[in-house]
C-alpha cells in the first residue's frame, strides 16, 4: 500500500486481517495478491497525526517527508528492516548488532558499499538520503514510541539517530569523535555486553599493572625512633615509602600479589578507595582506574536499565 501524499481528513486505521474476507458465505477472491504480508511502502507527504498502523509490514516503508511523524501510532507487530548480521567489510572487527532500521538507512548504507551486499540497495527511482535527513526521522519515531510508554521499543530508533549523527559530515569533528567513542564503548548506552567487555579488559589490565609495578615489594612497616632526655622520652613513628618491586616479571606474577592486586582494584572501583600502600606507578594506576572503570560500569547499568525500563 502506497500512501504517498494521501490526505486524511478523519482518523484512519490500516490493519492486517489474518483470515480471508468472507462475502455471502464465500471467501472473497484475491487474485494477484501473492504476498501474504500487508505492507506500507510509503508515508511521504502524509499527516500521520490521525494514522494508526496495526500488524503491517514496514520493512520497505519510506518515512522521510511524513508530517507529524512523532504522532504516528503503531499497534501490534509492525516490523521494520533488520540490520544485517555478521562483520563489516570496511572494518573487520565491527559486528553489526541486531536492530530495526529504516529502509532509507538501508539504501544509504548500500550506496556506500557497507558490508558488501548485506544492506538492501535502493530501488530504481528512489532517492538515497544523507544521514542529516535521516536523523530527524529516527528522532520523531523514537518520540512516538516514548509517548506510547514503550521506551525499550524506542531504543533502536535512538541507536539509529545516533548513528546518523555520527556519520553526518556536517556534524563538528569533535562531536563526531565523542559519538564514536560513545558507540565503541557501549553502543550509545544500549549495548551492555560491549560495556562489560571493555570493563573486564580494563580490570584485567589494571590488575596486571598492579602485579608488575603497583604493589610494593613488601608492605611498609611503621618504624619508631625516640630520644631520651632526662626522665622523658620523645617518640616519632614514621612509615617508610613503598619499595618498588624487583626481580624478573615472572616472579612478580604470583598468587599472593594477584590476590592483593585484585583486592586493591575492586576496592578502588566499587568503594572508591583501596586504603593500600602502593608505589608511585600503582598510585597513578589506581587513580586512572577510579576514573575510567566506574564510567564503563555505569554504561553497562544504563544499557540494562534501558531494556527493562517501564
Residues 100 and 122 in one domain: yes
Which of helix, strand or coil describes residue 213? helix
Q: Are 148 and 157 within 8 A, CB to CB?
A: no
Q: What is the pLDDT of residue 216?
A: 83
C-alpha closest to that of 10 among 42, 52, 55: 52
Other C-beta atoms closer than 10 Å to the C-beta of 273 total 9
Residue 296 main-chain phi, psi, to 5 deg: -65, -40
Q: Do the domain assignments include residue 6? A: no
In angstroms, what CA-CA distances link 81 with 62, 93, 147, 239, 265? 11, 23, 22, 66, 44
Cell of 272: 572508591
Residues 93 and 239 in one domain: no
Residues 179 and 202 in one domain: no
Residues 60 and 123 in one domain: yes
Cell of 202: 580494563
The tens digit of pLDDT for each residue in 108-162 reads 998 887 544 588 899 988 999 999 999 999 999 999 988 878 887 889 999 999 9
C-alpha closest to that of 289 among 274, 269, 275, 270: 269
- Structural domain boundaries, residue 18: 12-188
Cell of 85: 548480521
DSSP string, 61-93: -B-TT-BTGGG-EEES----EEPPPSB-SSSTT
Q: Identify the burial level of 199 via C-beta atoms within 10 angstroms of its C-beta, where 0-12 means exposed, 13-18 middle and 19 or more buried.
A: buried
Which residue, of 139, 164, 188, is where some domain finishes? 188
CA 176 to chain CA mean position, Å: 15
Q: Do the domain assignments include residue 267? A: yes
Residues 155 and 27 in one domain: yes
Q: What is the pLDDT of residue 53?
A: 92
Residues 173 and 219 in one domain: no
Residues 171 and 30 in one domain: yes
Residues 184 and 202 in one domain: no
C-alpha closest to that of 63 among 78, 76, 84: 78
DSSP string, 245-276: P-S-HHHHS-HHHHHHHHHHHHHHHHSS----
Which residue, of 188, 219, 239, is where some domain finishes? 188
The per-residue pLDDT string of the chain (310 residues; one tens digit each, 9 = 90 and over) reads 899 988 888 889 988 877 776 777 777 666 666 666 788 999 999 999 989 999 899 999 999 999 999 999 988 888 899 988 765 555 555 567 888 999 999 999 988 875 445 888 999 889 999 999 999 999 999 999 888 788 878 899 999 999 999 999 998 999 999 999 999 999 998 988 899 999 999 999 999 998 888 888 776 667 777 777 777 777 777 666 777 788 788 888 888 888 888 888 888 777 666 567 788 888 888 888 888 888 888 888 888 887 776 6
Q: What is the pLDDT of residue 115?
A: 47
Q: Do the domain assignments include residue 7? A: no
Residues 219 and 175 in one domain: no
Number of domains in the chain: 2
Q: Do the domain assignments include residue 235? A: yes
Q: Do the domain assignments include residue 1? A: no
| DSSP E strand boundaries for 76-222 | 81-82, 100-101
Measured CA to CA, the distance from residue 156 to residue 142 in angstroms comes to: 8
Host H or E run for residue 234 = strand 232-238
Question: Which pTM was predicted?
Answer: 0.80
In the DSSP assignment, the letter for residue 218 is S
Amino acid at each position: 500500500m502506497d500512501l504517498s501524499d494521501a490526505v486524511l481528513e478523519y482518523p484512519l486505521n490500516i490493519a492486517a486481517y489474518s483470515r480471508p474476507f468472507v462475502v455471502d458465505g464465500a471467501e472473497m477472491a484475491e487474485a494477484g495478491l501473492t504476498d501474504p504480508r500487508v505492507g506500507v511502502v510509503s508515508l511521504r507527504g502524509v499527516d500521520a497525526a490521525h494514522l494508526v498502523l496495526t500488524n503491517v509490514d514496514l520493512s520497505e516503508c519510506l518515512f522521510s517527508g511524513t508530517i507529524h511523524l512523532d504522532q504516528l501510532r503503531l499497534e501490534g507487530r509492525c516490523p521494520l528492516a533488520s540490520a544485517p548480521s555478521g562483520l563489516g567489510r570496511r572494518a573487520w572487527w565491527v559486528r553489526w548488532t541486531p536492530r530495526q532500521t529504516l529502509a532509507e538507512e538501508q539504501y544509504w548504507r548500500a550506496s556506500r558499499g557497507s558490508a558488501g551486499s548485506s544492506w538492501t540497495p535502493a530501488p530504481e527511482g528512489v532517492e538515497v538520503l544523507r544521514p542529516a535527513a535521516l536523523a530527524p526521522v529516527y528522532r520523531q519515531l523514537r518520540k512516538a514510541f516514548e509517548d506510547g510508554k514503550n521506551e525499550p521499543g524506542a531504543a533502536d530508533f535512538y541507536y539509529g539517530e545516533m548513528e546518523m549523527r555520527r556519520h553526518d559530515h556536517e556534524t563538528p569533528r569533535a562531536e563526531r569523535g565523542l559519538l564514536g567513542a560513545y558507540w565503541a564503548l557501549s553502543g550509545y548506552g544500549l549495548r551492555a555486553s560491549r560495556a562489560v567487555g571493555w570493563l573486564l579488559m580494563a580490570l584485567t589490565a589494571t590488575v596486571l599493572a598492579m602485579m608488575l609495578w603497583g604493589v610494593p615489594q613488601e608492605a611498609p612497616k611503621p618504624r619508631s625512633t625516640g630520644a631520651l632526655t632526662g626522665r622523658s622520652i620523645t617518640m616519632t613513628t614514621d612509615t617508610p615509602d613503598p619499595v618498588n618491586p624487583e626481580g624478573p616479571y615472572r616472579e612478580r606474577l604470583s598468587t599472593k600479589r594477584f590476590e592483593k592486586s585484585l583486592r586493591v582494584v575492586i576496592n578502588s572501583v566499587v568503594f572508591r578507595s583501596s586504603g593500600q600502600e602502593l608505589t608511585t606507578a600503582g598510585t597513578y594506576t589506581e587513580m586512572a582506574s577510579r576514573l575510567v572503570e566506574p564510567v564503563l560500569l555505569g554504561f553497562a547499568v544504563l544499557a540494562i536499565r534501558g531494556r527493562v525500563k517501564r
